[in-house]
Every structure is written in C-alpha cells, then in structure tokens.
Amino acid sequence: MIPALAARSRQGRRERRIPDETIAQMRSAGLFQVLQPRRWGGYEMDLPTFYEVQLALAQGDMSTAWIYGVCGVHPWFMALLAEPAAAEVWGRDNSTLICSSLMARGERRRHGRRSSARRALEIRKRLRALRLGAARRHGFR
C-alpha cells in the first residue's frame, strides 16, 4: 500500500483531499476497523497498533496518515460513549466512517463539572502526549 500512497500523494496535494482510491484501499484493508469494537464488526486492537499503522501510512503519504489519525481514532472514541451512540452510527452499516473536530465551544456546567474550550485543549494535549509516548516506545521519533 505504501508505494500506491506515494504514487497518489501529488494528486492528493493537487486536489487538496485524499484520493477516493486511497480511502477505498484503506477500507478494503480494514484499517478503519483497527480500533472499532468487535461487537460492531471491528478488530478492537490497542492504540499502539493503531499508531504503528498510522506511522506506516506516513511512509507513503503524510496527509493520508493524518486523515487516518483523525478518522481512525473515532471508533475508539465511540466505544467510550453510551451504546445508543454507537448504534446510531453503526446500527445500519458498521463500515460508516465518522469524524469530528472534538473542540468544545463555550462553557457549561453538568453534574458540577465545568466543560469549556480550555478543558478540550487540555484533553487534546494529553491525547497528543499519549500518542507521542506510544510512538517513542515503539522506536519512532
């Protein structure tokens, strides 16, 4: 897959999007199911495995690896939510891809806890540190 990604890299930069062929190839290889829960048709692998896949994709095309990191981690995120949320996403089609920016806006109180954009930024920093830590433990810099 890496040579194919490298060959389509220029096309992706020119079109400012990941080529449809690349997404199709990633789907057929099951890459978007790495973190998806087994009960929803995924492989339910661990985060270090996900990062290894992402780093391998980066050898062919950094943009593809970036998009994989953004879209591919959402099945893990969905597994943290209540079951009805996953049913809404994968109930009809367990190959549905999801993505979001995960950036909170404003502030609200719920159960005595404050939720704000600052808190979202703190969470993103922690996740980034976890990702970098996992990559470093596997010998990547």
Opening angle at CA 101, ends 58 and 82, nearest 5: 105
Is the confidence at residue 128, as pLDDT, over 70?
Answer: no
Is the confidence at residue 90, as pLDDT, over 80?
Answer: yes
Sorting pLDDT into bands at 50, 70 and 90, what band is 53?
very high
Other CB atoms closer than 10 Å to residue 87's CB: what's the count? 11
* Predicted structure pTM score: 0.71
* Mean pLDDT of all residues belonging to the chain: 82
Report the pLDDT value the prediction gives residue 137, as an integer from 0 to 100.
53
Report the pLDDT value the prediction gives residue 108, as an integer from 0 to 100.
58
**How many angstroms separate the CA atoms of 61 and 18, rounded?**
10
Sorting pLDDT into bands at 50, 70 and 90, what band is 141?
very low
